[in-house]
Chains A and B, each alone.
Chain A
C-alpha cells in the first residue's frame, strides 16, 4: 500500500473485498502446504520447497480473489503477488552473493592485508595482501574516468541538445556499436598499438582500454537522463532570455545530475571490475608499482582472478580472493555513496 493515492474509497462502491490480512494467511497456508508436499515427496532441495510455495501462493490468491472480489480485483491481486514473488526470488542469489563475500572475505581482511602487496608470497601460501592491487585499480580507473566522463557527458549533451544531421547520427551509430565491444577486444586494440611502438605493459595502457569501454556507457546513460528532463524547463529558461549554454549548465544538467552521476558510477563500476584488458595490457604484478605510466601494475579484479585461477583450490588463496572481492565491492560502494550524496545534494526538489 505504498502509493498515497490508493487510500480507501467508500466500501459501498467497491463491492466485496478480502480483508487486509488475507495475503498473509494465503502465504502462510501455501508455505505450509509446500512444506507438506516437500516432506511427503521427499524433495531435499529447499529451493524446490520455496518454488512450490510461491506457485501455490500465486494460484491461491487468484482463486480466492476471483471468487470473492471479481476478476479485475483478482488480476490486481495476482499482479501484486507475482511482483512480491519475483522480488523474493531475486533476493536469494543476491543475498547469497553478499553473504558469501562478506563471510569469507573478512577472514583475512585486516590492516596487514590492506597495506602489503603479494611480494614473494607463493600462490598457495598464506600471507600477502592487496595494497598493490588497490593502488593499481585506483590509478587505472581514475585515469580512465578522467578521460571518459567529460567526453561522454559532453557528447551526450551534443546528441540531446544540439544533435541533428549526419554527425549526430554517426555518433549515435558508433556509440551503439561500441556498447557491444567485448572488453577484451578493446584491450586487443590498445595492445596492437602498443606492439607497434614496442611498449612494455604499463598501467595507463589499461586506463585507455577502460576509457574506451566507459565512454559509450556514459553517453548512453547520460543521453537517457537528459531526455527525461522536461522540455518545459528548457523553454521556460530560454524564454527568460537565458543563453542556451547556461540553460544546459544551470537547468538541464542539474535536473538530470542524479541520473548522470548514477550512470557514471555504473560505468566506473563496470570498468573497475574489468579483468581481461588489464590482464592483457597491465600484465599484473605481485609487487607495488605506484607509477601508472611505467611498468607492470596489478589491479583488484585481476588479483581476484589470479588468486582464484592459480591457486589450485588452496584455501589461503580463496580467502584472499574473497577478501579482495569484498574490498572491491566496498570501493565501488563508497564511490556509489559519494555519487548519491552529490546527486541528492545537487538535485532540484521535484516534489516526488
Chain B
C-alpha cells in the first residue's frame, strides 16, 4: 500500500510546494487553528533546539580553531598535551586511539551479549522469569555512570588482575596482552567496564524492538516449520535490525563520551601502548575531565578542540548508522 501519497493528501508538507499545498488545503477546507498552533509549537521546538545546538557547535568550532592555529605540534599526530607551555604543543593521537580502542572493546563485548539477552528475554526465557529480569535490566540501564566508576575502581580493577595474569600467561606473546603487573588500570579494563555499562542500555532498547516484531511474521515462519532459531534469524532479527543498530549507537555514544567512569579507572598518560593491559593512554572525555580544572583559557580551547574531534567521530558513526537504518526502512511502522 502506498502510504506516502495517502498521507500527503491528509496533511500537506509544511513548506516545499506552497502552491500545491494551498490547492490541497483549499480542497480540504480551511486549516484548523489547533493544527497550526501544534505545528508551530513543535516546529518552534525544533528551531529552538537547532539554534541551541548550532550555537554550541559554532562556538566550540570557533574556540577549537583558535586553539589549533596556535598549536606548535601536529594536532593529529603529536603524543603530548602541553597547553601551558610556550609555545603550546598538543595533539590528539593518543586520545583518538584510546577512545576508539576502548569503544571497540566495549562494543565487541556488549553488542552480541546484549542482543542475546534481549532475545533471551523476548523469546527464550520462561515468562515468569523474563518479566522481572527485564525489569531489573531496565533499572540497571539507569544506574549512573559514576556508580559504575566507583564499582570499577574499587571492585572490578582488583578482580581484573586474575584475568590479566591469565591473558599474559597464554597470550602475552602477541604483545597485545603483555602485562607488567601492577593494578589493572588499563584500556582493556576500561573497555570491559564500558561494555558492562552499555550492556543494559543496548539490551533494553533491543528488547523493546524485538517485542514489536509483528506476531504474524513469527507465526508464518513457525507455520512453515522453522525452528526457533530460524524464526529469529528470518523474522525477528531483520525486523529489529535498525532498532538494534540505533540501540548500539546509543550505547556507543555513551561509551565514546563516557567521562567519569574512565577517569576513575584509567591510569592516564600520553603514550600509545601496544599492550591493552599496560596502564596508560587516555580518551577524549577522560582527558578533558582531568585537564579542564587546571587549564587556562587557551588550555580549555585546546580541550574543546579535542572534544570537537569526538563530535566528528560520533557524527561519522551516527551517519553510518543512519545509512544502514535508511536501507531497512521498509520494516519501520511509520514511513516518516
A contact residues vs B (CB 8 Å cutoff):
1-3, 5-6, 44-45, 47-48, 72-73, 75-76, 78-80, 82-84, 86-87, 89-90, 93-94, 96-98, 100-101, 150-152, 154-155, 157-165, 167-168, 170-171, 174-186, 188-189, 192, 212, 215-217, 219-221, 224, 226-231, 234-235, 238, 243-246, 248-249, 259, 262, 265-266, 269-270, 272-276, 279-280, 301, 304-305, 308-309, 318, 321-322, 325, 328-329, 332-333, 335-336, 340, 352
| Chain B: CB-nearest residue to A226 | B334
Within 8 Å by CB of A174, from B7, B54, B126, B127, lies: B54
Given A189-B56, A212-B52, A266-B201, A80 contacting B46 (CB threshold 8 A): no
Closest Cβ–Cβ distance, residue A49 to chain B (whole Å): 12
Known: A45-B162, A167-B50. A328 touches B155 (CB 8 A): no
Q: Knowing A3-B123, A178-B53, A182-B288 are in contact, say whether A231-B335 is a contact too (CB < 8 A).
A: yes
With A94-B199, A301-B146, A332-B143 known as contacts, the answer to whether A167 contacts B123 (CB < 8 A) is no
Instruction: Give me 28 A-to-B residue pairs in the complex whose CB atoms sit less than 8 angstroms apart, sorted by A's number.
Output: A2-B124, A6-B222, A45-B166, A76-B228, A76-B229, A83-B124, A86-B113, A93-B156, A94-B137, A158-B39, A160-B334, A160-B336, A162-B14, A174-B54, A177-B53, A180-B318, A182-B284, A182-B307, A192-B63, A228-B212, A244-B35, A245-B34, A304-B150, A325-B147, A329-B147, A332-B139, A333-B142, A340-B135
Decide: B146 and A273 in contact? CB cutoff 8 A: yes
Decide: A181 and B147 in contact? CB cutoff 8 A: no
For the complex of A and B, 4 pairs with smallest distance between CB atoms? A273-B144, A180-B314, A86-B116, A269-B142
* Known contacts A86-B120, A328-B144; is-contact A189 B60 (Cβ 8 Å): yes
Q: Report B75-115 CB contacts with A as 1/0, cut-off 8 Å.
A: 00000000000000000000000000000000000001110
A73 → chain B closest CB, angstroms: 6
Q: How far is the CA of A332 from the CA of B145 in the complex (A)?
A: 12
Please tell me the size bucket of the interface on B: 35 or more
Within the complex, the shortest CB–CB distance from A35 to chain B, in Å, comes to 17
- Asked if A244 and B10 make an inter-chain contact with CB atoms under 8 angstroms apart, the answer reads yes
CB distance from A165 to the nearest CB of B (A): 6
Q: Flag if A336 contacts B138 (CB, 8 Å).
A: yes
B188 CB–A CB distance under 8 Å: no
B180 to chain A: which residues have CB within 8 Å?
Answer: none
Known: A188-B303, A215-B52. A245 touches B196 (CB 8 A): no
Chain A residues with CB under 8 Å of B34's CB are 243, 245-246
A319 to B205 CA separation, bound complex (whole angstroms): 33
List residues of chain A with CB within 8 A of the CB of B182: none
B binding-site residues for A, Cβ under 8 Å: 3, 6-7, 10-11, 13-16, 32, 34-35, 37-39, 41-50, 52-54, 56-57, 59-60, 63, 112-114, 116-117, 119-120, 122-127, 130, 135, 137-151, 153-156, 162-163, 166, 196, 199-201, 203-205, 208-209, 211-212, 215, 218-219, 222, 227-230, 232, 243, 246, 249-250, 253-254, 256-257, 259-260, 264, 284-285, 288-289, 292-293, 300, 303-304, 307, 310-311, 313-315, 317-319, 322, 332-336
User: In the complex, which residue of chain A has the Cβ closest to the Cβ of B110?
Assistant: A90
**Helix, strand, loop or mixed for chain A's interface?**
helix
CB distance from A72 to the nearest CB of B (A): 6
* Contact A229–B333 (Cβ < 8 Å): yes
Alpha-carbon gap, A235 to B3, bound state (A): 9
A163 touches B336 (CB 8 A): yes
Number of A-B contacts (CB under 8 A): 348
Q: How far is the CA of A228 from the CA of B332 in the complex (A)?
A: 6
CB neighbours (8 Å) of A336 from chain B are 138-139, 142
Closest to A186 in B: B56
Let me know if B228 and A84 touch, CB within 8 A: no
Q: Which residues of A contact B322 (CB under 8 A)?
A: 176
Please name all residues of chain A whose beta carbon is closer than 8 Å to the beta carbon of B163 when the two chains form the complex.
45, 47
